[in-house]
Chain A
Amino acid sequence: MTARRLVVIVVLALAAACARRPPQPVAPVAQDLVVLAPDPGTGEVGGLLVTSGAGQAELTEARASTTVISGQGPGPVTVLDEATVQQTFGAVLALVPDGAERFELYFETGGDTLTAESAAQLPSVIARVRARVAPEVSIIGHTDTTGTAESNVALGLERAGLIRDLLVGDGLDVSLIEVVSHGESDPLVPTPDNTAEGRNRRVEVTIR
């Protein structure tokens, strides 16, 4: 009788111990690792807000990270060392395309004639387009406030079109160039209406 009771107690104790053990996952649980990295060009560190289920984690410093496991909120924020980031993300970091490059070209008053200085700069802009892998170009034409707003939209387009035609002449596919005119609506230097201002007679060329 005593021996049987002992067996029962042992069995119950084992059962209780088993019940307390957490269930073992049968398959790997889905999880994300999210890391905030410095900007590859400027080194600037922004911020990320990671939301999962009811939980949120805010990443605000370089290499701050969180691991998110499916069904749970984001884990605690930890700052990884550079070697750990490189180990996991080194290959993909090496693939990041070059950042966009911007140029401003200036015009003589009232038409689409480049200033001597900007005409001299043009070859280096064309060289940058050639140097980049699979480039696309955005060209935005601007004017000063001389003349009407409507005619300045047309003039801005004419200035932007001049640069586009030069790039197309150099072999860039026209479908890879976006041409826009902001007319007099987006001056570099704000002025009253009907004011000649050389810094506003410009075309912004962005190569990406």
Chain B
Amino acid sequence: MGESYSFTVGTAISLLDSSGNAVPNMDVFNEIYKLVEKKAAEYDQDVLEGLFVRVYLSRSIRKKEFPSDDQIGIVLLNWILAGYLLPLIPLSRSQTTGGCI
């Protein structure tokens, strides 16, 4: 691989709705999935050396202890199960059929 470069894909995704309430985690997940799937069609043959997220907040994050990979996997799995297989269903079909079983 040659020289690496970074670029931002898509527009910003808000973690709060217009009323100031936190967006449900599964909605954030689906927003990201939609964006990534859209970009997958554009950069079909490309491979990624890495990913990054920039998060803008009203104050600094004081988080000092980070969950383990196993804990993250369990949390993510629970969200997916709560969403009933939505990530496995292509967007075109999910939009026409209501999204989940």
A and B from one complex: no
